Chains A and B, each alone.
Chain A
């Protein structure tokens, strides 16, 4: 562990000074733990391919929120509720559901230095509680923007989503930003009561200079269903960890991920599904398109605890590696402690299918268009999980992929 520069303590004291004594004590313990642990790196198996050691000396200061600054860095999605943050502060003007802003309680355990760092510094965020048997009418777009200027800045937020029994909701966490070197950490705590259904989408599209680290912790009670769809685009370093725990029998987790890191970007996803109860179902589907000097890391891990019989789990990872300077590291892990289970996983790394490409060209389709069609097809399985057409279209456009053409399906519609 490298020694931390005094700037960290300085930032912490500024924050802590303004807090009530009890909270100060709690946060100080977290800060001390962060100082003791430091930033994670390859020595920690969960960080095998991502080294944050250099963050220690970056000289970050807490980002400042200016209420007058209301420039939006991403398009709003029509038909949805909105909660908008910038530099950790609530942008009231663009938010349609201010009441969902709040301060989530700090979780009891932090596993690595980043968890401790977030716990020490984290400020307000989404606190979304849905009562039993309620179905949210509109999806919720949570815009988490960083706009920090040239000097090194950091922001830390925590969010909580809890759905009562049989409640249903759709939430998008969208990360976007600009500025100089910046460290952004977000911890998202999710709990789903029996039969609850949550579609949780994550779109990260930060700009140069960003080091974005998120951690999602979700617990599912009996028959709950969680769909987590992550899309990693943009620049800088993005690390997303999801720990999804099936605590009640019959619960389902569907985790899909699309990684298309920009030219020099580094995208690291870790999805860990823990089956702690019987009859659970989990599906991990990850796709990556890695070009130029980008690096994609995907570590999926399915853990079947003793007694979690009749678990049905599948993990499929596929990456396209399109450049000599790019890199793919895929690791589909299984940890199984029960025998009556169905667990399979697979991973492939390869290129666009040359035969398919030749076929399309033989029909007169230019090479670039043929490639785009095949890339789109490759990403389809993950894009379609975003059962939110406006969001799907936004991502396809962002990736220069042909948009789905609903008109073309009419031909079959008419015949039916």
Chain B
């Protein structure tokens, strides 16, 4: 531990005490009194109280955080994943960081620091243009920068449809009953080490509520970016699709280049009620570290969807090309009869990247159905593991699962691994798992080159072909972006 945290903790404590005192007198505006834009590194109950106070949270939410924190202290970091990394020093991370110009909170996009908007533009999310070109590119975007949401576009149009799409911290105030009812109902506060940590310190994320019988009029999208040095990002997303509703949600992630490792421990909870459908797509391009494995994001994420109502459907699609270490299993609890869970994944590890990713499909309801398509690509010295669980409980009469799990190896120093757990307890359930491993053959390469296609392009072409089944599940704009990302991520993989 560094020398400063004790002093920092004292400072935090004083701030919190003052804040709690001032809060009684002035219920609004106190946040402008806070000097610190970034909470000093370290984690304690005081830091949690500080985060909660900065966000002006109700008592129940603070208690929820503290309960999770106390449990987290008793938990140990999981070691079963097939990844090897230097453990995180949780006391060296700053658990809250807010861009300076944001501290008053933007009222509209016009108030957002132009530099921030410029950053997003570089990332390919032209917020302003989107608003202006409404209807052309029909995507509403919420952007989370370090720990704070910088603006949600298309609010008006969504509001007309009755759709709530806003930062979670805002939803806590505007829709407290929904947040209280569903937050932590899919991923319990003590679900796992990283989920408990997230619950204790989560700072931002998106909240979506689609009312009964509503088809969300546009794609919803969130971009996450870690910018500040030595910060962790602990966002939390909650999506509720009420009866008969439908929503497609896109999530993009990036981080700048840094030498040290940064932690990203998000929690995403999806709830689909009767006949509702949620499609959740991710393109994850956190900084993967350099060729020797220095730096890069630790991406330890808990994503879970609950098909709570009959005939509901949750579909996860992910393209994972970034992060130094990935630990991520977007899952579906198929509770409602006839509910459907899907997982489509492309994960690529190049250089020294390591990924242990897959899904869990828990079949509880009758005639529940799940499909898993996983494409793992390992290049350089990358290590790629698919880890999946398909569990069919005694109640899952007539349940079905099909899993296809393919690995592609590029070069002889990488590794591709498959660990599928299948557990069946109902004699009418059917489960099929298929896996293959291949490499890009010399014949394929030669064929492409004989037609005048360069080596890198040929590889990228063949890899894209390998991933086709997953890309076709992505919304169009994302599919294009995903293909470009793969090409970039594969640079230097051959030769």
Looking at the complex, which one of B394, B418, B433, B437 makes contact with A348 (CB distance below 8 Å)? B433
Residue among B80, B425, B428, B429 with the highest chain A CB neighbour number at 10 A:
B425
Q: Interface stretch among A122-130, A138-146, A151-159, A337-345?
A: A337-345
B434 contacts chain A at the CB level, 8 A cutoff: yes
A369 contacts chain B at the CB level, 8 A cutoff: no
Looking at the complex, which one of B80, B417, B420, B436 makes contact with A347 (CB distance below 8 Å)? B420
Within 8 A of B (CB), among A279-316: 306-307, 309
A11 contacts chain B at the CB level, 8 A cutoff: no
Looking at the complex, which one of B421, B436, B439 makes contact with A331 (CB distance below 8 Å)? B421
Nearest A residue to B423, CB-CB: A329
A342 pairs with B437, CB closer than 8 A: yes
Q: Cα distance A322–B428 when bound, in Å?
A: 8
Q: B415: which A residues are within 8 A, CB to CB? A: 335-337
Q: Give, as a whole number of angstroms, the nearest-CB distance from A324 to chain B.
A: 6
Q: Cα distance A338–B413 when bound, in Å?
A: 7
Within 8 A of B (CB), among A309-334: 309, 319, 321-334
B431 contacts chain A at the CB level, 8 A cutoff: yes
A45 contacts chain B at the CB level, 8 A cutoff: yes
B424 contacts chain A at the CB level, 8 A cutoff: yes
Q: A307: which B residues are within 8 A, CB to CB? A: 412
A350 contacts chain B at the CB level, 8 A cutoff: yes
Q: A136: which B residues are within 8 A, CB to CB? A: none
Q: B424: which A residues are within 8 A, CB to CB? A: 319, 321, 327-330, 349
Q: A331: which B residues are within 8 A, CB to CB? A: 419-422
B427 pairs with A321, CB closer than 8 A: yes
B435 contacts chain A at the CB level, 8 A cutoff: yes
Nearest B residue to A313, CB-CB: B437
Q: Cα distance A343–B405 when bound, in Å?
A: 12
Looking at the complex, which one of B409, B429, B435 makes contact with A321 (CB distance below 8 Å)? B429
Nearest A residue to B433, CB-CB: A347
Nearest A residue to B401, CB-CB: A349
Nearest A residue to B391, CB-CB: A329
B437 pairs with A349, CB closer than 8 A: no
Residue among B411, B424, B432, B436 with the highest chain A CB neighbour number at 10 A:
B424
Q: Cα distance A78–B418 when bound, in Å?
A: 44
Residue among B394, B431, B439 with the highest chain A CB neighbour number at 10 A:
B431
Q: Give, as a whole number of angstroms, the nearest-CB distance from B240 to chain A.
A: 34
Q: Give, as a whole number of angstroms, the nearest-CB distance from B360 to chain A.
A: 14
Q: B394: which A residues are within 8 A, CB to CB? A: 324-325
B426 contacts chain A at the CB level, 8 A cutoff: yes
Q: A322: which B residues are within 8 A, CB to CB? A: 427
B410 contacts chain A at the CB level, 8 A cutoff: yes
Q: Cα distance A351–B397 when bound, in Å?
A: 12
Given contacts A324-B427, A336-B407, A351-B428, contact A344 B436 (CB under 8 A): yes
Q: A344: which B residues are within 8 A, CB to CB? A: 434-437
B387-398 vs A, CB cutoff 8 Å, 1 = contact: the mask equals 000000010000
A346 contacts chain B at the CB level, 8 A cutoff: yes
B430-449 vs A, CB cutoff 8 Å, 1 = contact: the mask equals 11111111010000000000
Q: Cα distance A409–B412 when bound, in Å?
A: 49
B414 contacts chain A at the CB level, 8 A cutoff: yes
Q: A342: which B residues are within 8 A, CB to CB? A: 437
Given contacts A45-B80, A334-B418, contact A346 B435 (CB under 8 A): yes
A258-290 vs B, CB cutoff 8 Å, 1 = contact: the mask equals 000000000000000000000000000000000
Within 8 A of B (CB), among A35-80: 45, 48
B407 pairs with A346, CB closer than 8 A: no
B216 contacts chain A at the CB level, 8 A cutoff: no
Nearest B residue to A320, CB-CB: B427
A309 pairs with B436, CB closer than 8 A: no
Q: B436: which A residues are within 8 A, CB to CB? A: 343-344
Q: Cα distance A350–B409 when bound, in Å?
A: 32
Looking at the complex, which one of B412, B420, B426 makes contact with A338 (CB distance below 8 Å)? B412
A328 pairs with B423, CB closer than 8 A: yes
B416 contacts chain A at the CB level, 8 A cutoff: yes
Q: Cα distance A134–B409 when bound, in Å?
A: 42
13 example contacts (A-B, Cβ-Cβ < 8 A) are as follows A307-B412, A322-B427, A324-B394, A324-B427, A331-B419, A333-B417, A333-B419, A334-B416, A335-B415, A339-B410, A341-B437, A346-B433, A348-B431
Give chain A's interface residues, CB within 8 Å of chain B. 45, 48, 306-307, 309, 319, 321-351
Known pairs A344-B435, A347-B431 / 17 extra A-B pairs, C-beta < 8 Å: A321-B426, A322-B427, A323-B427, A324-B394, A324-B426, A333-B417, A333-B418, A333-B419, A334-B435, A336-B415, A337-B414, A338-B412, A339-B409, A341-B439, A345-B418, A346-B433, A349-B431
Q: 4 closest Cβ contacts across the A-B interface?
A: A339-B409, A343-B437, A334-B418, A347-B433
